[in-house]
Structure 1
Amino acid sequence: MDRFQGCSAILKTLKKKELAPSLKLMLNILILILVGIPVLLFATVVSPQQRGFYCNDASLSYPIISSTISTTALVIGGLLIPIVSILIVDTIKGSSDIQSQEEFLKKCLPPKIITIFTSIGYFLFGCGCIQTITDIAKYNIGRLRPHFHAVCQTDWNSIQTNCSSLHPVYIYPIPCLNPDHHAVREAELSFFSGHASFSSFTMIYLIFYLENRLTFHNPALLKPLIQFLCLVITVYTSLSRVFDYHHHWSDVLFGFIMGGTVAYLIARYVSGLIGGDKKHEQKTNDVETA
């Protein structure tokens, strides 16, 4: 009994103790790094699942068209627009959301800076999450893009006998004449659309952020206008993947839904943007990110 009471006393003491502010900061930075590691692994080490195709599948025979929204533009715009918006809004709004901070943080950083870094940290954490989910789907499903045959330069002569059959024939492995293995590898990553999921997450999360942080009422239509523009950006980016023949419509639809779902989950359960200002304030007080 005495031993049990002693253990209970130790547990109560540990519960009351909090991590040092500097350790909290380091752990949050480490978590952000860990979330980004799978993205690097998929981009450099992991190979997509190998799939075949049916001879009569015309959905893989579209021409190669340059991306309307390049990957570079997607990443820069998807990160820059929300981060700049957070910097502007949190700077204007001030530090009233943070009423109490540890002495360490008070001496090192003003509350306003802590608010900004915390908001950006939540956003970057969500970016890492949605990109990891997207890569897991892409590399494990390995669906062929609509312009696969144009990229692969499929050797139809070697499979002409099989494809001359009246019944659909599944061709695997696929004979490609294109020596650029990286291009062929990219042509095997159709499901689901990374452009759709990433743009959907970043813009919809920004919509939630603006809804929570912008509290002015005049002019009444300014905030809805900004939010509508965010929605237009992600819808146009997503649709461009279809009319550029880089994705099937189902890839884009699923990617858009997945990005919006992750944006809601991060805004609801991580950053506390959904559920009232008090919840967001409590989240900001509890977590300091770099």
Structure 2
Amino acid sequence: MLYFQLVIMAGTVMLAYYFEYTDTFSVHVQGFFCYDTTYTKPYLGPEDSSAVPPVLLYALVAGLPTLLITITETVLFLVQYTSKEFDRSEKTVATGDCCYLNPLVRRTFRFLGVYTFGLFTVDIFVNAGQVVTGNLAPYFLTVCKPNYTALGCQQALRYISHQEACTGNQDDILRARKTFPSKEAALSVYAALYLAMYVTSTVQAKGTRLAKPMLSLGFMCLAFLTGLNRVAEYRNHWSDVIAGFIIGTAIATFLVVCVVHNFKGKLLLCEESPAEQRPNTGMLNIGRMESPLEKYIASQNHIAFAEVT
């Protein structure tokens, strides 16, 4: 099963790579109306000049969950390892202290592996939506720079559908055709919700009744501000951001509930439960029919035992 999961992960990464860095999937060319004010917002520069640049966003959605999950799992392991309950428990594996590290490594890699798979899945969903719809950014006409006279735009209701209508920079035009859904909104809310559910489900220490909600709401607030910034900088419509939030929330909820089962699982190699240690006596207690010969032998043995006594 491990090799099968690695194959799935590799396929997901490759598909995300083809969507992101190749022109294997061509973007749908969506038309526009002449002088449409919906797409005439100012262009504030490339993505690197944004208040939330891609480098910062990708570093947070990749580095923060890795750091938080690793530290939390290590602390929980050490706390349980040094607890009195663990000292009193029978250690069934006596091959060295290294064996007690296996559950920690397994849980950490499981949660981080599922999270990484979800990141690439979100990227694939978002890129597929952008390629299929080809929705125009609010600043599309600013970078498109159409020649309205040559296009015959004497009337504002004239619809322009051919790709050659734009005379601006082709990279900026292509980027302006890929806005629905918002990738930044989807990735940020996915990471925030995954971390919020992880903290809420795994940290059960005393005194964290308010700390866990505050930390979780802080993650969600950062994701909301990321989507708000996309709209404020005219890089996405509200519909793009909302669609990204829905995709990120749906994938995070599915993975947490159906794949990692709310982060449940044993942290240490403990002794078997009493139910597992008891022999299977269910079959021994099932009644059976005695044959007439068995009844006769039993009665003779009883009579003989009475004569002896």
Range class of TM-score, shorter chain = 0.7 to 0.9
TM-score by length of 1: 0.79
Q: Does 1:144 align with 2:136?
A: yes
- Give the structure 2 partner of residue 185 of structure 1: 174
Identify the match of residue 56 of structure 2 among 73, 87, 90: 73
- Give the structure 1 partner of residue 246 of structure 2: 257
TM-score by length of 2: 0.74
Q: Secondary structure at the match of 1:247?
A: coil
CA distance in 1, matches of 2:160, 2:248: 33
Flag structure 2 segments of 5+ consecutive residues without an equivalent.
82-90, 270-309
Identify the match of residue 42 of structure 2 among 42, 63, 66: 63
Structure 1 stretches of at least 4 aligned residues deviating more than 3 Å after TM superposition: 106-109, 282-285
Q: Does 1:37 align with 2:22?
A: no
Q: Secondary structure at the match of 1:210?
A: helix
CA distance in 1, matches of 2:31, 2:17: 27
Deviation, 1:270, is: 1.0
Cα 1:284–1:250 change in 2 (3 A) is farther
**AA aligned opposite 1:233:** L
CA distance in 2, matches of 1:53, 1:100: 70
Q: Does 1:239 align with 2:218?
A: no
Flag structure 1 segments of 5+ consecutive residues without an equivalent.
1-23, 286-290
Count of aligned pairs between the two proteins? 249
- Give the structure 2 partner of residue 25 of structure 1: 2
CA distance in 2, matches of 1:30, 1:108: 29
**AA aligned opposite 1:267:** V
Q: Deviations over 1:101-127 (max 9, x none)?
A: 9x9xx7696321221111100101111
CA distance in 2, matches of 1:143, 1:76: 27
Q: Deviations over 1:35-78 (max 9, x none)?
A: 11121111212221111101242110011124221122111111
Q: Deviations over 1:186-232 (max 9, x none)?
A: 11001110011111111111111111111113143111111111011
Identify the match of residue 115 of structure 1 among 107, 124, 137: 107
Q: Secondary structure at the match of 2:204?
A: coil
Cα 1:182–1:150 change in 2 (3 A) is same
- Matched ranges for 1:1-290 at <5 A: 24-43=1-20, 44-45=22-23, 46-65=25-44, 66-94=49-77, 110-159=102-151, 161=152, 163-165=153-155, 168-174=157-163, 175-178=165-168, 180-273=169-262, 280-281=264-265
User: 48-57 vs 190-199, which deviates more?
Assistant: 48-57
Contact 2:186 2:244 in 1 (8 A): yes
- RMSD (CA atoms): 2.6
